Amino acid sequence: MSDSPLLEVAGLTVRLSVNGAKLAVLRDVSLTVRPGEAVGLVGESGSGKSMTARAIDRLLPDRAEVQGSIRFGGADVSGLAGADLRRYRSQVAMIFQDPRAHVNPVRRVGDFMTEVLRTNFGVPAAQARRRAVDMLAQVGIEDGARRLRQYPHQMSGGMLQRVMIAAALLTGPRLLLADEPTTALDVSTQAEVMAILASLRRGSGLAMLFITHDLELAAATCDRTAVMYAGQIVEIRASALLHGDPLHPYTAALAAARPDIAQTAHRLRAIPGRPLSAFEAPAGECAFAPRCAYVRDICRAAVPGLVQLGGGVSRCARAGELRGHLQAAPGG
Amino acid sequence: MADTSGAPVLEATGLRKEFGGLVAVDDVSFRLRPGRSLAIVGASGSGKTTIARMIVGLERPTSGSIAACGHDRSRPARSARDRRRRGREVQIVFQDPYTSLDPRQDAEAAIDEVLRLHHGWPAGRRRARTAELTGLVGLDARQSRAMPRSLSGGQRQRVAIARALAADPAVLILDESVAALDVSIQAQILNLLADIRDQTHLSYILISHDLAVVRQLTDHTLVLHRGTVVERGPTARVLDHPQHPCTQRLRASVPRPGWKPARRGPPDTGKDAGPR
């Protein structure tokens, strides 16, 4: 794993026009992904995790106001257009939560899979189909030639998501943006898709930004995990340390709120209130302050900056003082 | 404490459902006592939602019987009165809080409608009970008068729960009812469901593929595979010491530190099973 980042997002702030008003959806998001690295991006509704992926893949609406920079392989991607943008997107592939919403239901799977190779790379149809069949075998679909002739409705959700992964990898990308790719699948199919992604990544050195609401899934499958709240990153941490040594009260609260498969809690430690979107967050103070069990005056005085701590990053004004105490959450 | 010795509030015997030639549910039997909670778990297509749909009367069993509070409900209701009685026996809360409410009704109107239909109370009594129910599920005055479109997913699910409780059912079926909720909201709703059970002796059937949620809310678990029950027992035992390869596979699919997700293999090899 090289140290120079493959993807470098710095100070990314995005505002969208909604009914004439400019609403912030991302606020000062900074994040790196190194070659071959898997980074989890975790958050609840409205946290901005999907919007971050869309910004990286240049899929934001035309009138979005974007500040900050996104660099891929050292080059700024904000000005890319036409063939350059297509080339960039072949390097940064994306898979989504609901594969059925991203395929044309009346076209055969083979047409969908080979389209980019044929139209953007000029690969002859027969050769494109051979490559598609090979890639399907790599995601565990053995009868690829037959599958290419099928329509999406003839496949289960898990099968179709494997097809989407194979399609995304056909152009030989260096980064996979995976936006909740297993959320709609049952647990055994999720395990299988995660296993396929892990083995493909081992084989090809593919880096991954894995977007999920599931802190446990990110912690179990990614090298590092970034936690988002209200359009900001509040913590970045080696995944192995997330549960035992969290740096932000929100990360600790998120972990504590989940039921434990190994024991029944008398009561779950629910976080009061509901998750806020970036544009709902109170101005000039910590966005998590209204729900935080550790809130003090200092948290309301200003938006906390990012502090380096124990090899990770936290956006908590009390991060240093709270470190090591966040596990003993109130009520526990 | 819940009365565990009483007659079952829900009893399914030899339940079977065929769709065309396909057997979706095959010889499933279980009993649910007052104040108890039963989880039905299994992979997609294992038949768990079909069972829920048969219990509430959205599907008719091919054979076998279902009785709630001693009344058979495996045949279509013969009268409006019969249908209303069934509504007071079993209610259901679906997964998607965005599609299960009438978009033109606020929470108060939705609850009031159920109270009028099932209990025929005068307006004053209905208003009092509506306030009780919205309070029980934690909706404030503004949220109780808001249309579903201006509520969040968690708030809508609270409305759906309050509306189901308005019929004063003996059994509440939770069909993946917390699956779509944010983690912090999911914990609030799970605590709420536990409180309601403690206060009312309501019985739950939880349809879920989230084994941690199953552990939190239920005392017994039934594991389905291709329509048949492959394992059943106290939830703690089923999850801590899964016996059947399908249960072991489900258990091994739960992400955890140091997790090595398993690639496809026949479920009966047992090689994916966690430590026993």
**For position B91, what pLDDT does the model report?**
95
Q: Is B265 on the interface with A (CB under 8 A)?
A: no
CB contacts < 8 Å between A and B, how many?
128
Domain contains B128:
yes
**Chain A residues within an 8 Å CB radius of B213:** 259
Closest C-alpha among B275, B276, B244 to residue B43: B244
Pairing of strands B71-72, B63-68: antiparallel
**For position A2, what pLDDT does the model report?**
54
Decide if B254 and A257 are in contact by the 8 Å CB cutoff. no
Q: Is B183 on the interface with A (CB under 8 A)?
A: yes
pLDDT digits (tens, 9 = 90+) for B222-248: 999 999 999 999 999 999 999 999 999
Domain that holds residue B86: 10-255
Q: How far is it, in rounded angstroms, from Cα A52 to Cα A192? A: 26
Q: Both A177 and A36 in a single domain?
A: yes
Domain contains A197:
yes
Angle, helices A109-121 vs A82-91, to 10°: value is 130
Q: Both A96 and A223 in a single domain?
A: yes
Low-confidence ranges of chain A (pLDDT < 50): 328-332
Decide if A45 and B255 are in contact by the 8 Å CB cutoff. no
pLDDT band at B274 (very low <50, low <70, confident <90, very high): very low
What's the token pair of residue A216?
Answer: 């446990």
pLDDT digits (tens, 9 = 90+) for A196-213: 999 989 888 999 999 999
Question: Total domain count for chain A?
Answer: 2
Closest C-alpha among B50, B41, B53, B56 to residue B208: B41
CB B174 within 8 A of CB B206: yes
Closest C-alpha among A305, A312, A308, A322 to residue A237: A312
Q: Of A227, A250, A284, which residue is a domain's last?
A: A227
Residue A115 to chain B, least CA–CA distance (Å): 28
Q: What is the complex's ipTM, to 2 decimals?
A: 0.87
Pairing of strands A232-238, A224-229: antiparallel
pLDDT band at B264 (very low <50, low <70, confident <90, very high): low
Q: How far is it, in rounded angstroms, from Cα A177 to Cα A230? A: 21
Decide if A219 and B213 are in contact by the 8 Å CB cutoff. no
Determine the residue of chain A that is closest to B216 in CA distance: A264
pTM of structure: 0.89
Domain contains A2:
no
Domain that holds residue A255: 230-260+267-322
Query: How many angstroms separate the most distant Cα atoms in chain B?
Result: 62
Q: Which amino acid is at A70?
A: I
- Other C-beta atoms closer than 10 Å to the C-beta of B99 total 10
Decide if B263 and A199 are in contact by the 8 Å CB cutoff. yes
**Chain A residues within an 8 Å CB radius of B264:** 140, 192
Question: Total domain count for chain B?
Answer: 1
Q: Calculate the alpha carbon distances from A27 to A30, A48, A294, B165, B232 in Å.
A: 9, 9, 23, 41, 49
Q: Alpha helix (H) ranges present in chain A?
A: 49-56, 82-91, 109-121, 125-138, 144-148, 157-169, 187-204, 215-221, 239-242, 249-257, 297-301, 319-322
What's the token pair of residue B11?
Answer: 């009893």
pLDDT digits (tens, 9 = 90+) for B146-169: 999 888 888 888 899 999 999 999
Domain contains B107:
yes
**Chain A residues within an 8 Å CB radius of B153:** 45
Q: Both A255 and A150 in a single domain?
A: no
Residue B20 to chain A, least CA–CA distance (Å): 18
Q: Both A245 and A294 in a single domain?
A: yes
